[in-house]
A and B are shown apart, each in its own frame.
Chain A
Amino acid sequence: MSSGQGTIIAKRSISLSKTYLVVGILMALLGVLISSLSGVTGNLSTTGIPVNATGARSLDLTTALPLVSVALQVFAAIIFSIPVLMLYVYDKNNGVLEYFLSLGMNQGDVYRQYLKAALILSSGLVGFEVIINVVAGLITGVSGLMLLEVSGLVVALALPVVSFDALIMMSFSSLQKQRVGSNQPLGMAIGVLMVMPAYIAPLAVPSLALAIDLLLAGVIVVLSLLMYLSSSRLISREKLLP
């Protein structure tokens, strides 16, 4: 399969289902909106709100909101890549994957093309998120450093999470005992769970939120690589048959 096949698979995924793409874009816009609110709250001089009765700790919205929005924007990227995984199951059940194998590919070659397609789609959304974040942040007065931080974290988290999620969804779908391959939502659930710390950290431990996000990105990169390298050995060719 040539390098352009990832792009073809991405295009086929788009034609298969546009609903996920619309939901992904809406979720990304919601994330950008939440991030931009920090600029608005900063302009209103609302530096914090009490989070408990004693008022001993306060939540800095100008920091917390952009970081919470990172998790939301990463989730949007996961949703945006789901059509590729739907296409994988569809191609598996329709015999397309079997045909790829008959052309001399192995399971690793097949996984790589669908993974590439998932990354092509999600990269499109992540690029869109970065641009909209910057534009909206400049309009609402979010600090340059915060814009850089949010954009960097969205890229650093979204692409590894999408890679991991795509691989785990394909694996769950392939390893399912019954050959319909409908187990892939399990993979998405795990992907969402993995992003959970990025939701909670800015609210629970704001001072460590950035470090937690970066650590999470690193862990997911390592897991994705392990998953990718081992998938060809763990999952036999017959698991790709209809």
Chain B
Amino acid sequence: MPTLELVGVSSGYGGKPVLHDITFKAQESAIYVVLGPNGAGKTTLFRTIAGILEPYSGEVLFDGEDLTRSKEARNRINYLSHYNAIPEEMTVRGALDFYARIEGGNADEVLSLLSLGELEDKKVSDLSQGQKKRVSIAKVFLRERDLYLLDEPTSNLDPAVSKEIRDILLGLSKDRIVLYSSHNLYEARDVGTNLILVRDGEIGYFDKISNIKSKEYRVGIRTTTDISKMIDAKLGEGGYYVLSVSTPEEAGLALKKLVENGVLVTEMRQLDNPLQDLFEDNYDQHPAKTERRVVKPS
């Protein structure tokens, strides 16, 4: 299994650090969602891991090899910037052939993988933003690597294509490490198994998403029966009966009670995203902040 390890990494631009003493160790094949507000240092983190920025201090190790110094180690990485990095004067096929000549791989395969066949003879400059993004993503899949760094890969993409990309990444993550940044908290929850929260250039949280504890769970229950007298739920947003509980188990007990009373429940879902608290301003009061679930390498 590949291992990505950052030890005391500080990095930035023009001598001014953006990342401060970053330490974590990703040692299981999974999708690690990188979250953080604008300017938190997500892109700087990706650039530093990719070896584009040289850290001011600390080490970035991939399977024990220093990524800043070893070209071989860097050659095991695929990086998708949030800039498209596609020569716009070329056709889609020409651009993918251009990169295939530089880094290897087969343009035909990625044209097919991302359903770009219809666009292959079009100039990149004539494409929509979403189509350009697809071409940009296609170049990342030209060759298989061990570590994928994807900076907002699904921005500008329609839901269907976003899902295609997520499915490809889920497949890749079975035996590779994928770092994936997104501003879409629902997408992050759906696709990621682990969370790296970046705040003010520091790691605010590093652990499995399933370990995130919410202060409160709001559960929406859809049913044709008035259940407000059976459980402490009121009809609210989106036609759901909204139930507030402090643990997921309490929601399960409420559901059991409804079923025992013969109520037909057609839908039950968590209304809030556990990542929301982490991401928003109330982060400082969140249990994750005080627990500092950051895995320090031994």
Contact = CB atoms under 8 A, between A and B. Distances in A.
B102 A103 contact: yes
B43 to A, nearest CB: 10
B88 A15 contact: no
B74 A238 contact: no
B134 to A, nearest CB: 16
Interface string A25-51: 000000000000000000000000000
Contacts of B53: 237-238
Given A101-B52, A241-B52, A96 B87 contact: yes
A228 B87 CA distance: 26
Interface string A92-103: 001110111111
Interface range on chain B (Cβ under 8 Å from partner): 20 to 34
B159 interface: no
B86 A94 contact: yes
Contact of A4 (B72, B79, B88, B101): B101
Contact of A8 (B52, B79, B101): B101
Contacts of A98: 47, 52, 81, 83, 85
A95 B101 contact: no
Given A96-B87, A238-B14, A238-B53, A104 B102 contact: no
B83 A102 contact: no
Contact of A5 (B50, B86, B101): B101
B12 to A, nearest CB: 9
Contacts of A54: none
B98 interface: yes
A237 B85 contact: no
Contacts of B13: 238
Contact of A95 (B14, B51, B81, B90): B81
B146 interface: no
B102 A102 contact: no
B81 A103 contact: no
Contacts, number: 69
Q: Is the interface of A mostly helix, strand, loop or mixed?
A: helix
Contact of B87 (A2, A91, A103, A238): A91
A163 B50 CA distance: 30
Contacts of A15: 89-90
A102 B75 contact: no
A237 B89 contact: no
A19 interface: no
B87 A1 contact: no
Contacts of A12: 87, 89-90
A47 B51 CA distance: 65
Given A1-B102, A2-B101, A102-B77, A94 B88 contact: yes
A102 B50 contact: yes
A242 interface: yes
A118 to B, nearest CB: 17
Interface in A1-31: 1-2, 4-5, 8, 12, 15-16
A104 B74 CA distance: 5
B84 interface: yes
Q: Which 4 A-B pairs have the closest CB atoms?
A: A95-B83, A95-B85, A102-B79, A99-B85
24 contacts: A2-B102, A4-B101, A5-B101, A8-B98, A8-B101, A12-B90, A15-B89, A16-B89, A94-B83, A94-B85, A95-B83, A95-B84, A98-B47, A98-B52, A98-B81, A98-B85, A99-B81, A101-B50, A102-B78, A102-B79, A104-B75, A236-B54, A237-B52, A238-B52
Interface of A: 1-2, 4-5, 8, 12, 15-16, 91, 94-96, 98-104, 236-238, 241-242
